[in-house]
Structure 1
Amino acid sequence: MDIKTIAPATPQRRPLSPNIQHYRPQLTSVLSIANRITGVILSVGAVGLVIWLSAAAAGAEPYAAVQQAIGSWIGRFVLFGCTFAFFLHLCGGIRHLVWDTVHGFELRSIYISGWSVVAASIALTVAAWAAGLCVGGGL
């Protein structure tokens, strides 16, 4: 028996992974990845905070230049993103602290807490910006 009689005449396309065509991201995996991404964003934002504080310590001209960059629409967009990243990371951390007490591992509780993290992050971001705009009279 030679190999030609065993192998099919036309090659079949086999998937690279058995489940790759059927994979749908789960809330838990998306939030886990988002938590890591927000940690990186917050690290970059911390460098931006140091630049802002250094400019304030350096004098009026450097501070005005940094304030002008922060006050632009791109700067405000970045600040808004950093604010959301902060609250998403914070709420996700609180969720993990609850899990550390060995509570909330039922599937229903996992999804409720996951969507609560997303909703709370959005609400806290909007509330922080609304408070900043009301108290500060705008950025």
Structure 2
Amino acid sequence: MSDIKSARPLSPHLSIYRWAPTMMMSVAHRLTGMALYGGTVLFVWWLVALASGPEAFSWASGFFGSIFGRVILFVYSFVLLHHMTGGVRHLIWDTGTGLQKTTATRIATVTPLISLGLTALLWIAVWIV
């Protein structure tokens, strides 16, 4: 290596950044997107069981009807709605609205609350029907 110092700035490491709500929601949006792959595999398994006949479908229904299966369905529905809410947030930003720092932070802070509310409404509707 050369002894000549470069005038280029060095990229700072992630550890120096202070976590902001917009940063957390960006990471959460990416994580929920990845988690949707696992939930989609379970959905495809259920569809294949449905097409395979009564025995396979009863096994899949038994799994999703168990406590563990319902927890998975609850978490999957939250992940799906959280990812959707984050997508709506990005859609709003794509229109040029809400790009100010305070507004973006407020929207990012409200996103998980809206997701939880929508998940609760969904599961209340499921229990009623």
TM-score class normalised by the smaller sequence:
0.7 to 0.9
Q: Quickly say closer, same or farther: Cα 1:41–1:59, change in 2 above 3 A.
A: same
Structure 2 residue 127 is matched with structure 1 residue 127:
no
Matches within 5 A, 1:14-29: 20=15, 23-29=17-23
Structure 2 residue 32 is matched with structure 1 residue 43:
no
Segments of 5+ residues of structure 2 without an aligned counterpart are 1-11
Distance in 2, matches of 1:31 and 1:18, equals 20
Structure 1 residue ranges, 4+ long, deviating more than 3 angstroms after superposition: 17-20
TM-score of the superposition, structure 2-length normalised?
0.84
Tell me: higher relative CO, structure 1 or 2? Use CA pairs within 8 A at least 6 residues apart. Answer: 2
TM-score of the superposition, structure 1-length normalised?
0.79
Give the number of the structure whose alpha-carbon radius of gyration is greater: 1
Distance in 1, matches of 2:118 and 2:93, equals 22
Q: Deviation digits for residues 18-54 of structure 1, max 9, x if unmatched? A: 884x654211111111111111111111111111011
Segments of 5+ residues of structure 1 without an aligned counterpart are 1-16
Q: Deviation digits for residues 53-101 of structure 1, max 9, x if unmatched? A: 1101111110011111111111111111110011110010011011111
Question: How high is the sequence identity, in percent, across the aligned residues?
Answer: 35
Give the drift of 1:116.
2.1
Please tell me the root mean square deviation across aligned C-alpha atoms, in Å.
1.7
How many residues in Structure 1 have an aligned counterpart in Structure 2?
118
